[in-house]
Amino acid sequence: MKLSIEPFTSLTGWTTDGAITASILNQEPTYISGRLAASTIFKVPAGSNGKSIYKTISISLAGYDELVLSIWSQRKAGSVFEVGTDFAYQIAIEGTKAFYLPTYRGFNQVTISIAGITTATKVKITALHNDADYLLLSGLYAVKEEMPLDVMQALVDEIAYHAEVVSPGGVSIGTATTVAGAASFACSSGKFLDRYAVVEISGSAGTETHQIDSYDEVTGLYTLKTTYDGAALLYSQAAAVKLQIPAVFGTVEEDIVVPGVAVWGMAPEPLYLETDVQREIDTYEVGGTFGDRRDDMYLSWPMLIDCESRHNETLALASRIVRRLLGQGNLWVNGRKYDFHWDQLGTDVLPEQVVETLPKVQYTLDVIVRERREDRQTLPKALTATDTVTIETGVL
């Protein structure tokens, strides 16, 4: 799971004690974390050593154990970060600790342990050099790793994004006149509306989302379930009704969503891409300790994406939404960019009975992620030791 600390999607709210400025909003997706609207480029003029820029915030970090930040530097990129002089920048999120920021070549993610830090009170970036540079930052998150939940949530979020691109607002069905507090409504069209369908009802008073529980052919009314915005209408208004194609995960012993997309996957396959004994340093506290752990495991999570509908038209729409996702080839999970492979045929599952079984299209993809295998150790920095050696000569 992740919590946004600073998305870096706005140039406002920053205070500087020198010449560093939040200068440009970047719109190039290659340098933006996930589906954020933009990233921020900070201008760092020559002579900015020790100068900083910060934004005041107040966010509880309870339940989270590390930070993830995407970063790129135009002129201060390197490959080895071992001692303080190797770093060009540092970051602080509260008043007692600051951490060095490695700036590897390319647009990369940095991980920092926040053990012992309970509240983020600011985001402060400090330059540690005197060269002119442009520093790009995107998507600072507090993270607590929960696999495969995090992978499934990332897939659901991505499917929802592509659903809005393919069918903005949903599929237009008809109109309704709603009464606040009523448990049902009538629609001018019943196309695609049936039990378990999710609809958006929008008018001048507001927008609400409901799931249909049943349809009464005598009264022509659709009753509502307790899910989404509840079993009672929120607004009295003349409204447009749009069918949604929601994405969900883990729907075990719960009401299904039809039409909809369900994501499943609980059994990963280990990938031995590196040795099992390598160590990784990922947290460099300024003037203090550093974090060390055994390299993460590479795991391939087979994810089943299940498109289900009573109607071929909406099934085709759900399938098209998922194929847009599959065409990306990568997925942002907890602020980190991972690859996935889609190399298996989709499966067309047709009903064999008149009732109970619904048409489906199923896709399987393998999402390759890294997962912790060992707790991070906090180690002190190495100090210079001086040894005196006396060489004596003699005759044996």
Mean pLDDT to the nearest integer, 20-27: 96
Spatial CA neighbour of 263 closest among 356, 163, 153, 166: 153
Question: What is the C-alpha separation between 58 and 3, in angstroms, rounded?
Answer: 13
Q: Please, what is the average pLDDT of the chain?
A: 90
Q: Does 149-165+250-379 carry CATH code 3.30.2000.30?
A: yes
Residues of the chain with pLDDT > 90, as a percent, come to: 73
pTM of the model: 0.88
**3-class DSSP assignment, residue 316:** helix
What would the CATH number be for the domain defined by 168-244? Answer: 2.40.10
Give the sign of the dihedral formed by CA 132, CA 134, CA 139, CA 144. negative
Report helix angle 149-166 to 312-326, nearest 10: 120
Lowest mean pLDDT among 4-8, 9-13, 113-117, 148-152: 113-117
Taking phi over 0 as left and psi of -120 to 50 as alpha, with beta for the rest, 336 belongs to beta
User: Within its chain, how far is the Cα of 94 from the centroid?
Assistant: 23
pLDDT for position 383: 61
Binning pLDDT at 50, 70 and 90, where does residue 121 land?
Answer: very high
Question: What is the C-alpha separation between 260 and 227, in angstroms, rounded?
Answer: 15
Binning pLDDT at 50, 70 and 90, where does residue 292 land?
Answer: confident
Q: Where are the domains of the chain?
A: 2-143, 149-165+250-379, 168-244
Among 2.60.120.260, 3.40.50.300, 3.40.50.2300, 3.40.640.10, name the CATH number for the domain at 2-143: 2.60.120.260
The Cβ of residue 3 has, within 10 Å, a number of other Cβ atoms equal to 16
pLDDT in tens, 31-46: 999 999 999 999 999 9
Q: What is the DSSP letter of 94?
A: S
> Two tokens at 106?
């390319």
pLDDT for position 111: 92
